[in-house]
Structure 1
Amino acid sequence: MKIKELYVYPVKSLRGCSVPTATLTPYGLKHDRKYMIVRIKPSGDDGDEKKATSNPIYESQYVGRVDSLCLFSASILPSYEDAKFIRVTYNTPVSSAGKDDNDAEDVVVVNGDGEENVNPYVEFPIAPDYRKLGKVDLSIHLSDCVGYDMGEEYQKFFTKYLGYPAKLVYVGDSTREVKGNLAPNQTHLTKENDFDKETKKAAAPSGWFIFGFFTWVFWYLLGWNTENTKYTIQFADVAPVLVASSVSLEELNSGKKEDEKELMLDITKMRPNVVLEPSGANEMTPFEEDYWAELQVGGEGGGEARKIMLTGNCGRCKSLNVDYETGKQLPVHGQMLKRLSDMKRRVDTGHGYSPIFGRYGFIAKDSFEKEVRVGEEVTVTKKNEERTVFYWPGLSSGTKPPK
């Protein structure tokens, strides 16, 4: 099989851009999810956002919670290879009658050229000097980090078009803990209750456990432990890379009923970073990626090998049902989440009722700063005998935090 498409999402949860080549980093593809929009909420109980000025809470945003985020698209200028700026464009929504939902006089441009534009946009540096920016405390899926406030100009832009107080924040040097079993050096469970068993074992150390622990410390201090990599993420949800299959998408779209006016699902709604397709006939089967554990890009015939370790399934939410032209949920006949569920894709108990499409992954450390390109051959170098079970405290099924 080979790489069909590569996608980068410079601003988390906004529409991204297709790139012909991408650089691999510890945090995924270079320039991916380095910015994020957060909602400014009051810290008190009165819920008055106008008072959210002192000690506010900054809530991460994503499509499914805020569907209108899909109306913003991000691009890298002048090119991915020579990246200097990110442009975020607000794509004015259309109504079912085909007319703009916004009045023309309400459409403004903040690009500084003084010209009117039905699709206003704003630009900011690909990598600002975050040391000069103020910090804000953030939490994404109960994993804490900080963001760097890009300032009033961008806050006004996003607040205007989202309809609530919102900031643009940059990731800078901030990182987050990878929780549960998503990191490559954690146990990848294949049974729903395995984690509980392992936790109980760890809670009752034996003499062999103590001996093993000190032995591990000894090897660790000597630097002989090859599995001592500490995996962290930045603004991505739970892992830095998402891999998807064009064959699985075709299977999903084939579930369209002839007697209903369902829409075809575009791969961009799945928000993958790497999309794979077969190099020849019958090379891939739908949803076989459920069992993939490791991918190797290139490496054949003496070429340079780059590896992606796949550790967890991606559970899907109602973001699949959003119409990118209107910024609203599609009518029932066009909802893709139900179609995916109807195909019996609820195959991961860790995701509960969420159907699965795609695999989360991490870049192997010996592949950092290397490039991958559209059209390159990809080989599955490791497979799991059973599907992994997603575990992330507070996020996976059965681990919801108390309210």
Structure 2
Amino acid sequence: MTVRINTAKDGTTTYQSQSIGRTDALCLFTADILPNYENAEVIRVTYNTPASSTGNEDAVKGNPYIEFPVAADYTKLEKLDLSLHLSDFVGYDMGSEYEEFFTKYLGYPAKLVYVGNSTREVKGNLAPNQVHLTKENDFDKSKGIMAAPSEWFVFGFFTWILWYLLGWRTEGSKYSILFSDVAPVMVASTVSMEELNGGKREGEKELSLDITKMRPNIVLEPSASDEMKPFEEDYWAELEVGGKGEGGTRKIVLTGNCGRCKSLNVDYETGKQLPVHGQMLKRLSDMKRRVDTGHGYAPIFGRYGFIAKDSLERDVRVGEAVAVTKKNEERTVFYWPGLSTGTKAPR
């Protein structure tokens, strides 16, 4: 994770987590796992020079990059006290080499922080054992769910073990995450993406949005054209991957909606906001996707989730059948103290 270094007049230093929703230019950094996904040893982060600054927008050669080990020896690194969405944790400063790289290409003081053995608390109602509960004083109540068997297919590659290492952990009955925003898994569908791209305003030359800009871990596509409706994932509560054969079933518990930010409007070629005709956030809003009061004015696309405890460290690959085994009767309402609508960070 990259953090911005803020130094006050009195000399005190604070660190602010960075995301594309906050800093457009972060989209110019891409990561590769080397030598390959199955035998991950090194992560290479490349700074892709903005097309508008090269004078030759057809090709950019020799983009600068930096590499760091997947499993760093954090015991030798300096500890930093950090907080992400009021969820406190300890990070480990990767050192001056990485600070210089990110500071140079972001244009402000920044560090690369390693998670090490640290975890963060899952706040509000995002943890699987807090599904549907929308207020702090409602945590002793629950609502029912109903089964809804439907089969679709995984349209993307993901692995339980990597999510376990980079996304979330369990400690007894508590749920914890690492550097993930609020949950380690994001699910979306190709049908909803097609609906979004079909919502262009008449007479305007709007751009189409690629699904990668939504940053899902899992993308589902129907096995038949009439099997899935746009945005029906709003109600999904649980997915089951595979059957009782080889590999067995693996489950994902879906707990909250994803409210979208201005990162959808970023041009990945220039690292800047797109012109108005290409801004997908407004198109999503125009389609009346402000369906979660917990996200206020942010339109919804996709669902947050967690890997079920008995499915950790088990692989899932492209093409496996997926069934929606549970649905909520109503949409869940996002609640995370200090982040959701109507809640404030403590002073």
User: For the residues of structure 1 that align with 2:254 and 2:185, how far apart are their CA atoms?
Assistant: 9
CA deviation after TM superposition for structure 1 residue 118, in Å: 3.5
| Among 68, 81, 91, the residue aligned to 1:147 | 91
CA deviation after TM superposition for structure 1 residue 146, in Å: 1.2
| Among 214, 219, 223, the residue aligned to 1:275 | 219
Equivalent position of 1:198 in the other structure: 138
User: For the residues of structure 2 that align with 1:198 and 1:383, how far apart are their CA atoms?
Assistant: 21
User: For the residues of structure 1 that align with 2:262 and 2:190, how far apart are their CA atoms?
Assistant: 20
Q: Does 1:78 align with 2:35?
A: yes
- Give the match's secondary structure for 2:254: strand
- Select between 250-259 and 78-87 the one with higher mean Cα deviation: 250-259
User: For the residues of structure 1 that align with 2:136 and 2:41, how far apart are their CA atoms?
Assistant: 48
Equivalent position of 2:13 in the other structure: 56
**1:252, 1:340 within 8 Å by CA — same for their partners in 2?**
yes
CA deviation after TM superposition for structure 1 residue 303, in Å: 4.9
Paired residues, what number? 316
Instruction: In structure 2, give the amino acid aligned to 1:323.
Output: D
CA deviation after TM superposition for structure 1 residue 400, in Å: 2.4
CA deviation after TM superposition for structure 1 residue 313, in Å: 0.3
CA deviation after TM superposition for structure 1 residue 195, in Å: 2.3
CA deviation after TM superposition for structure 1 residue 300, in Å: 4.6
| Among 29, 52, 69, the residue aligned to 1:125 | 69
CA deviation after TM superposition for structure 1 residue 199, in Å: 6.8
CA deviation after TM superposition for structure 1 residue 269, in Å: 1.0
Write the mapping of 1:8-27 to structure 2, written as runs, cut at 5 A: none
Deviations 1:221-245 (A, max 9, x none): xxxxxx9621000000111111111
Equivalent position of 1:92 in the other structure: 49
| Among 318, 325, 330, the residue aligned to 1:374 | 318
User: For the residues of structure 2 that align with 1:375 and 1:82, how far apart are their CA atoms?
Assistant: 22
User: For the residues of structure 1 that align with 2:173 and 2:64, how far apart are their CA atoms?
Assistant: 43
Write the mapping of 1:30-41 to structure 2, written as runs, cut at 5 A: 36-41=1-6
Instruction: In structure 2, give the amino acid aligned to 1:291.
Output: Y
Evaluate the alpha carbon distance shift between residue 376 and residue 162 of structure 1 in structure 2; reply closer, same or farther with a 3 A threshold. same
Q: Does 1:308 align with 2:252?
A: yes
Q: Does 1:254 align with 2:211?
A: no
- Select between 283-292 and 295-304 the one with higher mean Cα deviation: 295-304
Q: Does 1:392 align with 2:336?
A: yes
Q: Computing the radius of gyration over CA atoms, which structure comes out larger, 1 or 2?
A: 1
Equivalent position of 2:181 in the other structure: 237
| Among 65, 69, 75, the residue aligned to 2:22 | 65
Evaluate the alpha carbon distance shift between residue 401 and residue 381 of structure 1 in structure 2; reply closer, same or farther with a 3 A threshold. same
**2:131, 2:255 within 8 Å by CA — same for their partners in 1?**
no
Q: TM-score, normalised by structure 2?
A: 0.86
Q: TM-score, normalised by structure 1?
A: 0.75
User: For the residues of structure 2 that align with 1:136 and 1:364, how far apart are their CA atoms?
Assistant: 31
CA deviation after TM superposition for structure 1 residue 100, in Å: 6.1
Instruction: In structure 2, give the amino acid aligned to 1:249.
Output: M
User: For the residues of structure 2 that align with 1:366 and 1:197, how far apart are their CA atoms?
Assistant: 30
Evaluate the alpha carbon distance shift between residue 137 and residue 375 of structure 1 in structure 2; reply closer, same or farther with a 3 A threshold. same
CA deviation after TM superposition for structure 1 residue 82, in Å: 0.6
- Give the match's secondary structure for 2:135: helix
User: For the residues of structure 1 that align with 2:72 and 2:226, how far apart are their CA atoms?
Assistant: 47
Structure 1 unaligned segments of length 5 or more: list them.
Answer: 1-35, 47-53, 102-106, 108-116, 202-226
| Among 96, 100, 112, the residue aligned to 1:156 | 100
Q: Does 1:185 align with 2:116?
A: no
**1:322, 1:329 within 8 Å by CA — same for their partners in 2?**
yes
Evaluate the alpha carbon distance shift between residue 361 and residue 151 of structure 1 in structure 2; reply closer, same or farther with a 3 A threshold. same
Evaluate the alpha carbon distance shift between residue 86 and residue 182 of structure 1 in structure 2; reply closer, same or farther with a 3 A threshold. same
User: For the residues of structure 2 that align with 1:62 and 1:278, how far apart are their CA atoms?
Assistant: 31
Equivalent position of 1:4 in the other structure: none
Write the mapping of 1:344-383 to structure 2, written as runs, cut at 5 A: 344-383=288-327
Equivalent position of 1:322 in the other structure: 266
Q: Does 1:172 align with 2:116?
A: yes
Equivalent position of 2:150 in the other structure: none
Q: Percent identity?
A: 75
Evaluate the alpha carbon distance shift between residue 302 and residue 76 of structure 1 in structure 2; reply closer, same or farther with a 3 A threshold. closer
Structure 2 unaligned segments of length 5 or more: list them.
Answer: 142-170
User: For the residues of structure 1 that align with 2:259 and 2:298, how far apart are their CA atoms?
Assistant: 5
**2:257, 2:334 within 8 Å by CA — same for their partners in 1?**
yes
Instruction: In structure 2, give the amino acid aligned to 1:56.
Output: T
- Counting strand residues as a fraction of each chain, which structure ranks higher? 2
Evaluate the alpha carbon distance shift between residue 402 and residue 261 of structure 1 in structure 2; reply closer, same or farther with a 3 A threshold. farther
Instruction: In structure 2, give the amino acid aligned to 1:159.
Output: T
